[in-house]
Structure 1
Amino acid sequence: MKNLKITLFVLLILTSITIYSQQKPSFPKIKIYGKVIEKVSKQPLEYATISFTDETSPKSLGGGVTNPKGEFDIDITPGTYDIKIEFISFKPIIIKGKKLQEKTNLGQIALEEDATQLNEVVVRAEKSSVEIKLDKKVYNVGQDMMVKGGTVSDVLDNVPSVSVDTEGNVSLRGSDNIRILIDGRPSYAVNIAEALRQLPADAIDKVEVITNPSARYDAEGGSGIINIILKKGKNQGFNGTVIASTGIPETYGISANVNYKTEKLNYFTTAGYNYRTNEGGGKTNSQYFNDDGSTKNFLDEDRNTERTRDGFNGRAGIEWTVAPNTYWTNAINYQKDNGNNTDLINYKNYDASHNFTGSTYRLGTGESGGENVEFTSNLIKNFNDKGHKLTVDGSISRNTDDSQSIITGSNNYNNTLNNQVQKQAQIQTDYVLPLGEGSQFEAGYKGNFGDLNNEYYVLDDQGVRIENLSNTLEYKEYINALYTQYGFKKNKFSYLFGLRWEDTNIEVNLLDTNDFNTKKYNNFFPSAFVSYEISDQSNITTSYSKRLTRPRGRFMNPAVNYSSNVNIFQGNPDLDPSLTDKFDFGFIKRWDKITFNTSAYFENTKDVFSFVRSPTGDEVNGIPVILSRPINLGREQKYGFEFTLNYSPFKIWKVNSNFNLYNVKTTGENSYTDTQGNLVVQNLDNQANNWSARVSSKLTLPYKIDWQLNANYNGAQKTAQGRSLDQFGMNTAFSKDLMKDKATIALNVSDIFNTRKMRSYTELENQTSYGEMQFRKRQINLSFTYRFNKAKGEKDKNAQPKNDGGGDGGGEFPG
């Protein structure tokens, strides 16, 4: 079995790399360019198709698609052509017998909607599931069969440069110092990993990965930003999609995405219900030592977990074309979920000679529930069709999360309760002013205001609150930001320079102990991007930005995670933010069938967050209790190299691959007072190499069956207190279109070999341990999708210029 896994993985890697040598040489050509817009709204049409054919033959001799601004730039051999400009559900325009001998501007081409096509289902060629751009990667969820019936966590785990560990924690290029946005707005969930598991994949349109954001984006996210964009229907008339799914372990759900659009109004809604069962488990085997270094005893922990969740997710809104150049969208998002958790730990004790001396157990059963309501509003005013616009965004939300668990065991009984209420408000305005050909000015303001109240109690078997394990956290956050940036193009160089200022006022109050902490700071965050156009198909770019990571969620919450009574976790409300200087040098090259993108990067972070483990002085049945908590470590320096390759050798086969290699060096120390009152200083200096690789292959088999195979590998890495081991996982999926392509049935299997486990060794002064944790075992899902009045893979038409970045809209990189 091990050889089979390695063979499959190596074959996929070799397939994606060796094709680089298969490219054919190109010959001198001329440039044909222009812009495609929608006739009524005058807005640009992205993904409109331009094709060039010989006037004596229908065979296409060249072509391309428009970018987000509706612009196209195509190289062809000089000659006389018939030119066809088309977009789904629009009337095509054909220019007959156009003589092209030199660089030519076809000007602005306006397409008109074709009412006769709006109710037809036409299968069009799918665009790549991964689009590589100079400043970001865009992952189109609808093209990925792996995530059918899954959650946002499943989506992110298939995105290049992004990984999700077995506990649901998200990292980018190996770092978890990231910012996660939903429609450009930050998610403030205390447990963001759990929040992402509640949002179904069917509600997601695409994911943007921005490794080095400009000044228009929030400064938060030391290693970058992940922007999750929800579906928004834009097609004329009544249309939509319904998806039903079921799986093993017991999982089922149904969702619908429907919209109805008239000339002035667009009504859109997404609703879904899902029930999920996650079965997991793990173990921790520990050896304890006396002060003289001799073995004291051994403890083995075996854990089995089962988590069930059922939830409803809904979104409804109206998009109003107030005037031909003014658009106002209002939407309400609603989420509600409930769940049950069972966590059984069996303890086996051994003496110094590893002779069995007895066993105990600990059973945790709990219930949880949450509700989130959010109202969003977006107003866009276009002053002309050249990009001069004003955007205003606002949102308010309220989130509640309640949980209760009862912990029973051989020697103990506890009851824990956690009640959380969070309120959030955001306002932002962005102004974009083009100043001439290839240059533009941007400026904006953003305010984030949040209030979180978290009550956490641990009760003993008499119902009495255990004070040292209980507390009430009040967290208030007020962030105001201003930014400006200017971009321009000169010859083959493009420049973008920006400056952002953020003023932060945070209150972290522990009400039960009257411990009040206020943190006030303001910072400037410069950014600079320079791009050189080697040719129409290749570019070099270099960039710099200053980033910030604020501690949030479980990092700040002093409530003790009491799932294990000998290995516990506690947040640190005294954490300071970390600041990162990011440098990135990138190269991108496009051919007819391949896109290659590579980058070298360097990150220098001060006051980086790091987890440390130390004894508390308490013991349970003779076993010392170890506390894990985050601290501000001195410095982290990270050097890395990454490349992404998209290749389509044939119309029926697409291959995407991503490789990341990096070195991390941390310097710092941690001090604490041991049980004898002695000051202990832990040297946490560490340097480690790590690499990860991801390959995805999508192939159309006979009878039009689509087959997708993904493989992911994360290498082993040395840590300050031990080392983490490598991790391998492989997923597969099959899909088949039915009912004249109006429906699709898909079967996917995640973690085929059941190998997605987090494994690590930890070495402390008086203890060494080996641990494994698997949050979710192998999952099998079957889904059925039905589309009405909508084509498979159909790209939504831009009835208005998209502002997918939500509160972080602004303009695009110039040029």
Structure 2
Amino acid sequence: MKFKILLLSLLSTISFLQAQNSNQGAFALGSISGKVIDKSSSQPIPYVNVSVKLDGKVVTGGITQDNGSFSIKNLELKQYVVEFQFMGYKTQTVSVNLNDATKNVNLNTISLEEEAVQLEGVEIVSERSTVVQKIDRKVINIGKDLIASGNTASEIMNNIPTVSVDPQTKELSLRGNSNVRVLIDGKPSNIDSAQLLQQIPSSSIKQIELITNPSAKYNPEGMSGIINIILHKNSQQGFNGSINSGVTFGVTPKVNSALNLNYKVGKVNFYTNYGFNHGKNENHGYIDSFRPTLENHQDFGGSNLNTSHLIKLGMDYYINEKNTISFYTSQNIVNGGGIGFTNVNYSDLLLRDSRQTSDSETDNHTQTYDLAYKHDFTKKGETLDFQANFSNTDSPENSDYEYTQTNPTSTRFTNNDIARDTDYLQINVDYVNPLSESVKLEIGAETRLQKITNDFVETVSEPSLSYNRLGHSNFEFTRNIHSFYTNIGKQWKKWSVQAGVRLEQYEIDGDFSNVVTSSNPTENINDQSTIKDDIFSIYPSLFFNYKASDKDSFNFNFSRRVDRPSIGQISPIREWTTPLVESRGNPSLEPQFTNSFETNYTRTTKIGSITAGVFFRQINDEISRVIYKNPDNNNQDIISYDNFDDNHAIGAEVSANLKLTKWWSVNASSDAYFKTVRGTVQNANSGLQERAEADVVIFNARMNNNFVATKKLRFNLFGMYRGKDLGLQFERKPMYKMDIGSTYTILKGKGSITARLNDVFQTMHFGFDGSIPYRQAGAFYWESRTFYLGFNYMFGGGKNSAMQRKQRDQNETQSGGGLL
């Protein structure tokens, strides 16, 4: 219904503009004006669709302004019927007679009465999801079919075309690339996206925008683009909210709950959100290593118990119709711990087998404070937005390791004490000015200041050898980014174009120190190093859209992107270690730049829409994983990062959102892309760096089927296939699974019960086989087959507020009422 009203508003506006152009220079024309208000509250209602009809046909029209007023000019002197239509209100009509005596008619105040059935909960949700291709993004309007496929944002993401969520790490990827940024209502979050997506109930999501080639307005970081999650905005006076809770049964049960509350009174809107996650996750795996003279089999496994609390408190204050100020704070607290083991059995009986066990405790506390101000100028569409966001993350970790070798038996004890602290400040201002009916200008500036401190203390003792070692590493890192952007867009006839450029100054400064004191004097170390960089970059973007007809549209776009190394990728402090493998960053890592080209075609039919597209990426200094020997321990490998040569990727994708029958709808997608990977890897025998190259063809597909049994009962069947991927050192094996589920609506549509069995045949796991720097093969397993049972309930109600509805419609920039 909302889509139809918006479409009618758009068509009416276009007709209105065409009528104005065609009548310019004419005379003996009239006008109709007035103001639309809510009958019960007497508040003005903006964005009401006003249609002027002649003999039952719409000849022109428009929409009401922020203050509810409207004025339709250049009308021939005839007898008209003016119709006022807006969602949630009864349609009203008024007859108007324009003649020589009365050319300009003022209808004064038009009072609209709300429908007898009031909206309750957050918003009415359509039966099935729809996909809309816009000039710079693909928009998925979330329907009940996708909500039924998962309880959280993380779970329904796997049903979105070209989006994948790693079933174990919950890492998000777009078009097979994990370098993707996640925004909530157009704003970044300081909370890790994997955790954040598990805290957002699927029922709270209104739209998901896939911005595979972001314009200059957006931060250029992330090679594969941006995923913007738009949440429902509460549009009601009074108290209302929702509760979402569920249990996932695997090896052990896990709970996930979220409570959203909203209270709107007068000009103030208060909201609070609370998310809770608790559960233990089991995993295991193996690696067969064929390293010359050190052939071995490794078994590993463990469990992690995590409890997280995400609390958000905020308010929106509508000073007047032109000014709004918002503030929120979020507190994210995670307490976790885990135990693990790694067994190494060598083929050579002369080598000593080993076993390492670990016991760790981790804490993470992220506190965020956000202030936003929005000003609407008198000119329609002219706005000014200001935002300041500060966050601090404190994440200490303490781990104990016990390493035992056999024949003869010896034991070594290690304690790692890690302190991590991050301060982040972001300030940005955005200005939008419609220079004319067909031209829009956007300009903005942004500053991001980040300071990270990592402090690592390692204590090692081996009582049988009277061996002791104390290591202390410290890494302080600052990153400052200052940017300015401008976009200008123009529409004419069936064409629309948007061009922009973003200028950024990127500065980093890092200091690393590593001091080791050992009972073995040869191990004593006192290293000091620094990292400095100062880069000025230009990021252009260009978008073309051609709407050939109401059913066919074409889109072409280009943008330049960057992937800057994260703190984990450049910190020389090790991330984790086993007897044979250690993970650490590379301080000399350089940013990766990508030139991205893309074109799409969308066809709308009676049963849905189909989108096909191709893309090409030119990648400079590609960042990738690399394995090499530890120079300080010949028996251990280092997993790190390095810049490979310039690479490229080309691919195609097809997605469809179809309602095949009244009871069966399908959301399906497939993509295939080809890439050439070039770089330098280490030869296991010589230890020298050698050039390597690999050509890769990757194919992915998924299908989400929704079956409506009754008005209250629906079923879901989901299947996915992720093809093999080949890198310079490893080949990732194909992954596939099937899920089944059902949702039953209760409590007069306010509540629902969802049941789902994931990975029915338990086929989902991560397998790999590699030959560089030497042959290795293995697999990782987790709790892929689980049963989920969840409950969702929306409560409260009240009368719709026009002022709050205006904020809801501007959902790309509002922060209120949602999780961040």
TM-score normalised by L of structure 1 = 0.81
* Deviation string, structure 1 residues 344-369 (Cα, Å, up to 9, x no partner): 22333223xxx898753221121111
> Where do residues 377-388 of structure 1 align in structure 2 (5 Å cutoff)?
377-384=371-378, 386-388=380-382
Q: Which residue of 2 aligns with 1:455?
A: 455
CA distance in 1, matches of 2:610, 2:797: 32
**Which residue among 729, 732, 746 is the counterpart of 2:740?**
732
Counterpart check, 1:154 vs 2:155? yes
Cα distance change of structure 1 residues 248 and 450 upon mapping to structure 2, 3 Å threshold: same
Aligned-residue offset at 1:34: 6.9
> Where do residues 573-722 of structure 1 align in structure 2 (5 Å cutoff)?
573-617=587-631, 624-670=635-681, 680-702=688-710, 704-722=712-730
Amino acid at match of 1:414: T
Contact 1:136 1:211 in 2 (8 A): yes
Counterpart check, 1:559 vs 2:573? yes
* Deviation string, structure 1 residues 273-308 (Cα, Å, up to 9, x no partner): 22122222211111222xxxxxx3531112222112
- Could you say what secondary structure the match of 2:155 adopts? helix
Contact 1:393 1:807 in 2 (8 A): no
**Which residue among 333, 338, 341 is the counterpart of 2:335?**
338
- Could you say what secondary structure the match of 1:720 adopts? coil
- Could you say what secondary structure the match of 1:213 adopts? coil
Contact 1:123 1:741 in 2 (8 A): no
CA distance in 2, matches of 1:688, 1:327: 51
Aligned-residue offset at 1:433: 0.8
- Could you say what secondary structure the match of 1:555 adopts? helix
Q: Which residue of 2 aligns with 1:256?
A: 259
Amino acid at match of 1:382: D
**Which residue among 752, 764, 772 is the counterpart of 1:764?**
772
* Deviation string, structure 1 residues 11-33 (Cα, Å, up to 9, x no partner): xxxxxxxxxxxxxxxxxx99985
* Deviation string, structure 1 residues 453-476 (Cα, Å, up to 9, x no partner): 1222332136998567x5222121
* Deviation string, structure 1 residues 601-654 (Cα, Å, up to 9, x no partner): 10001011011111225669xxx3111110011111000101111111234332
CA distance in 1, matches of 2:772, 2:508: 34
Aligned-residue offset at 1:182: 3.7
Contact 1:450 1:478 in 2 (8 A): yes
Q: Which residue of 1 aligns with 2:129?
A: 129
- Could you say what secondary structure the match of 1:799 adopts? helix
Q: Which residue of 2 aligns with 1:215?
A: 216
* Deviation string, structure 1 residues 362-412 (Cα, Å, up to 9, x no partner): 211211111111111222211146311111112111111122121223233
Q: Which residue of 2 aligns with 1:784?
A: 791
* Deviation string, structure 1 residues 562-581 (Cα, Å, up to 9, x no partner): 34221221111221111111
CA distance in 1, matches of 2:397, 2:321: 49
Cα distance change of structure 1 residues 142 and 312 upon mapping to structure 2, 3 Å threshold: farther
Contact 2:321 2:803 in 1 (8 A): no
* Deviation string, structure 1 residues 191-219 (Cα, Å, up to 9, x no partner): 75466556666765543221011111111
Of residues 356-365 and 304-313 in structure 1, the stretch that sits farther from structure 2 once superposed is 356-365
> Where do residues 218-297 of structure 1 align in structure 2 (5 Å cutoff)?
218-230=219-231, 232-249=233-250, 250-289=253-292, 296=293
> Where do residues 338-377 of structure 1 align in structure 2 (5 Å cutoff)?
338-351=335-348, 359-377=353-371
Of residues 176-185 and 363-372 in structure 1, the stretch that sits farther from structure 2 once superposed is 176-185
Contact 2:337 2:360 in 1 (8 A): yes
> Where do residues 496-535 of structure 1 align in structure 2 (5 Å cutoff)?
496-512=498-514, 513-535=527-549
CA distance in 2, matches of 1:612, 1:141: 39
Contact 1:609 1:633 in 2 (8 A): yes
Q: Which residue of 1 aligns with 2:780?
A: 773
CA distance in 1, matches of 2:249, 2:203: 18
CA distance in 1, matches of 2:142, 2:469: 47
Q: Which residue of 2 aligns with 1:17?
A: none
**Which residue among 479, 482, 503 is the counterpart of 2:481?**
479
Contact 1:164 1:170 in 2 (8 A): yes
> Where do residues 176-215 of structure 1 align in structure 2 (5 Å cutoff)?
176-187=178-189, 193=194, 206-215=207-216
CA distance in 1, matches of 2:125, 2:85: 13
Amino acid at match of 2:663: I
Identical counterparts, % of pairs:
23
The two structures, once aligned, show a CA RMSD in angstroms of: 4.1
CA distance in 2, matches of 1:427, 1:281: 44
Amino acid at match of 1:281: H
- Could you say what secondary structure the match of 2:291 adopts? strand
Q: Which residue of 1 aligns with 2:4?
A: none
Higher Cα Rg, which structure:
2
Cα distance change of structure 1 residues 660 and 120 upon mapping to structure 2, 3 Å threshold: closer
Q: Which residue of 1 aligns with 2:552?
A: 538
- Could you say what secondary structure the match of 1:571 adopts? coil
Q: Which residue of 1 aligns with 2:437?
A: 437
Q: Identify unmatched segments of 5+ residues in structure 1.
A: 1-28, 56-65, 72-80, 99-106, 290-295, 810-815
Cα distance change of structure 1 residues 582 and 339 upon mapping to structure 2, 3 Å threshold: same
Q: Identify unmatched segments of 5+ residues in structure 2.
A: 1-10, 18-34, 57-62, 71-79, 98-106, 406-411, 515-526
Of residues 717-726 and 474-483 in structure 1, the stretch that sits farther from structure 2 once superposed is 717-726
CA distance in 1, matches of 2:501, 2:326: 29
CA distance in 2, matches of 1:552, 1:754: 34
* Deviation string, structure 1 residues 33-58 (Cα, Å, up to 9, x no partner): 5799987465447xx999x9x99xxx
CA distance in 1, matches of 2:509, 2:622: 21
Q: Which residue of 1 aligns with 2:75?
A: none
Of residues 394-403 and 744-753 in structure 1, the stretch that sits farther from structure 2 once superposed is 744-753
- Could you say what secondary structure the match of 2:262 adopts? strand
Amino acid at match of 2:647: E
Of residues 741-750 and 231-240 in structure 1, the stretch that sits farther from structure 2 once superposed is 231-240
CA distance in 1, matches of 2:46, 2:668: 34
CA distance in 2, matches of 1:505, 1:38: 53
CA distance in 2, matches of 1:467, 1:763: 36
Aligned-residue offset at 1:552: 0.4
**Which residue among 295, 299, 303 is the counterpart of 2:296?**
299
Pairs aligned (count): 735
CA distance in 1, matches of 2:536, 2:147: 45
Aligned-residue offset at 1:440: 0.7
Aligned-residue offset at 1:90: 3.1
CA distance in 1, matches of 2:122, 2:224: 41
* Deviation string, structure 1 residues 510-565 (Cα, Å, up to 9, x no partner): 14443111111011111111111100222111111111111103212222233422
CA distance in 2, matches of 1:37, 1:719: 62
Cα distance change of structure 1 residues 484 and 396 upon mapping to structure 2, 3 Å threshold: same
Contact 2:147 2:203 in 1 (8 A): no
CA distance in 2, matches of 1:174, 1:95: 55
* Deviation string, structure 1 residues 45-75 (Cα, Å, up to 9, x no partner): 7xx999x9x99xxxxxxxxxx9xx999xxxx
Contact 1:331 1:377 in 2 (8 A): yes
Cα distance change of structure 1 residues 797 and 642 upon mapping to structure 2, 3 Å threshold: farther
Amino acid at match of 2:239: F
Q: Which residue of 2 aligns with 1:325?
A: 322
* Deviation string, structure 1 residues 763-810 (Cα, Å, up to 9, x no partner): 134x3111212344322221111211359xxx997332655444999x
Amino acid at match of 2:155: D
Aligned-residue offset at 1:342: 1.8
Q: Which residue of 2 aligns with 1:408?
A: 402
Counterpart check, 1:428 vs 2:428? yes
Aligned-residue offset at 1:499: 0.9
> Larger relative CO (CA 8 A, sep 6+): 1 or 2?
1
- Could you say what secondary structure the match of 1:437 adopts? coil
CA distance in 2, matches of 1:564, 1:375: 39
Contact 1:148 1:783 in 2 (8 A): no
Cα distance change of structure 1 residues 615 and 377 upon mapping to structure 2, 3 Å threshold: same
